[in-house]
């Protein structure tokens, strides 16, 4: 019941944006960018992520970060994250400067709900080299959720992180954050997993998915989310629940593309060439499927 209310509230207050058959969006979630220390799982995928962002920028996509982009539970100072992954943030800024960047917050970067936090950390930064304050994502307004509405058919896609209704990561998030910052982050380095996280817990992932599918069935909306770290691409005869997966898989990153009226699940990873060189390759894992084949229209 609580999950239903949280999803409905997020939908009601979501940022609304129209799209059509010419629109292009890339949805990435759960990067959990850290400070490049031993507990920063994103660090191993930074080059892959940068290469993917270059591709999407060159091909006129809108970049949508579906929550937990930065790991603010483990690392309290955003400056450390920005310095560790400056190459990523430079690419994100390119999207932002061209009005092609939408940032949603999740449970691990829920601090983005605070206008004061965003203004202090994301509007500008002090550059140690030039010894000057430079503009960053000046004017950024993060959102909890996004609704994409087709200009002609009225079909809606509801995008949010996916922690809404997950008790330990939603209404009990402060306690979970403190445990993560001062306890689990250190055990994480040697292989122990936080029991509050759905990323490694099949039962928790399945429970969340079941609740979200009940909401989809009741309100007839397509959902794209993250949070569980498990990629999901629904067939047209199934309830339309899509999950981006995450950007800290051991073998690369996954995301959802919506391009020219078609939706697909993609992965980016290293591939070895016969001569031993490594290259970054985009692979379409599922799809593409015309979004209109999913029956929910207004």
CATH number where 129 lies: 3.60.21.10
**This prediction's pTM:** 0.91
For residues 5, 6, 7, 13, the Cα torsion angle rounded to the nearest 10 degrees is: 110
Name the E strands within 207-277.
222-225, 241-243, 253-259, 262-272
Per-residue pLDDT of the chain (298 residues; tens, 9 = 90+): 689 999 999 999 999 999 999 999 999 999 999 999 888 999 999 999 999 999 999 999 999 999 999 999 999 899 999 999 999 999 999 999 999 999 999 999 999 999 999 999 999 988 877 778 889 999 999 999 999 999 999 999 999 999 998 767 766 656 676 777 655 555 555 455 655 556 555 556 688 899 999 999 999 999 999 999 999 999 999 999 999 999 999 889 999 999 999 999 999 999 988 888 999 999 999 999 999 999 764 4
Residue recorded with tokens 């944006």: 17
Give, for 8, the enclosing helix (H) or strand (E): helix 2-12
**42, 34 in Cβ contact below 8 A?**
yes
Flag whether 200 is in a domain: yes
Q: Does residue 28 sit in helix, strand or coil?
A: strand
Q: Which domain holds residue 35?
A: 2-293
CA 239, CA 289: separation in Å to the nearest integer? 14
Flag whether 96 is in a domain: yes
Kindly report, residue by residue over 142-178, the tens digit of the pLDDT. 999 999 999 999 999 999 999 998 767 766 656 676 7
Kindly report, residue by residue over 186-233, the tens digit of the pLDDT. 555 545 565 555 655 555 668 889 999 999 999 999 999 999 999 999
Token representation of residue 232: 């999901």
CA 30, CA 154: separation in Å to the nearest integer? 29
Flag whether 298 is in a domain: no
Number of domains observed in the structure of the chain: 1
Q: Does residue 192 sit in helix, strand or coil?
A: coil
Which pairs count as long-range contacts for 129-133, CB under 8 Å and 24+ apart, including other chains?
A: none
């Amino acid at each position: 019941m609580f999950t239903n209310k949280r999803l409905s509230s997020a939908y009601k207050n979501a940022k609304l944006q129209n799209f059509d058959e010419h629109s292009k969006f890339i949805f990435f979630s759960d990067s959990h960018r850290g400070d490049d220390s031993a507990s920063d799982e994103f660090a191993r995928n930074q080059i892959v992520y940068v290469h993917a962002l270059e591709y999407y920028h060159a091909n006129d996509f809108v970049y949508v970060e579906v929550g937990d982009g930065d790991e603010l539970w483990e690392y309290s100072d955003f400056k450390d994250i920005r310095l560790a992954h400056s190459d990523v943030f430079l690419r994100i800024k390119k999207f932002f400067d061209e009005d092609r960047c939408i940032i949603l917050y999740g449970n691990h970067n829920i601090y983005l709900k605070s206008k004061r936090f965003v203004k202090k950390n994301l509007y500008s930064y002090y550059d140690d080299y030039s010894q000057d304050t430079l503009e960053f994502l000046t004017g950024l307004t993060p959102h909890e959720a996004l609704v994409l509405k087709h200009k002609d058919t009225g079909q809606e896609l509801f995008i949010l992180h996916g922690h809404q209704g997950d008790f330990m990561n939603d209404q009990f998030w402060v306690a979970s954050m403190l445990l993560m910052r001062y306890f689990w982050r250190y055990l994480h380095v040697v292989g122990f997993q936080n029991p509050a996280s759905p990323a490694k817990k099949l039962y928790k992932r399945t429970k969340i998915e079941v609740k979200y599918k009940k909401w989809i069935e009741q309100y007839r909306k397509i959902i794209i989310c993250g949070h569980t770290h498990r990629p999901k691409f629904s067939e047209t005869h199934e309830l339309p629940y899509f999950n981006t997966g995450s950007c800290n898989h051991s073998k690369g990153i996954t995301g959802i593309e919506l391009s020219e009226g078609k939706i697909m699940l993609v992965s980016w990873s290293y591939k070895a060439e016969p001569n031993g060189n490594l290259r970054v390759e985009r692979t379409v894992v599922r799809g593409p499927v015309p979004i209109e084949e999913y029956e929910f229209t207004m």
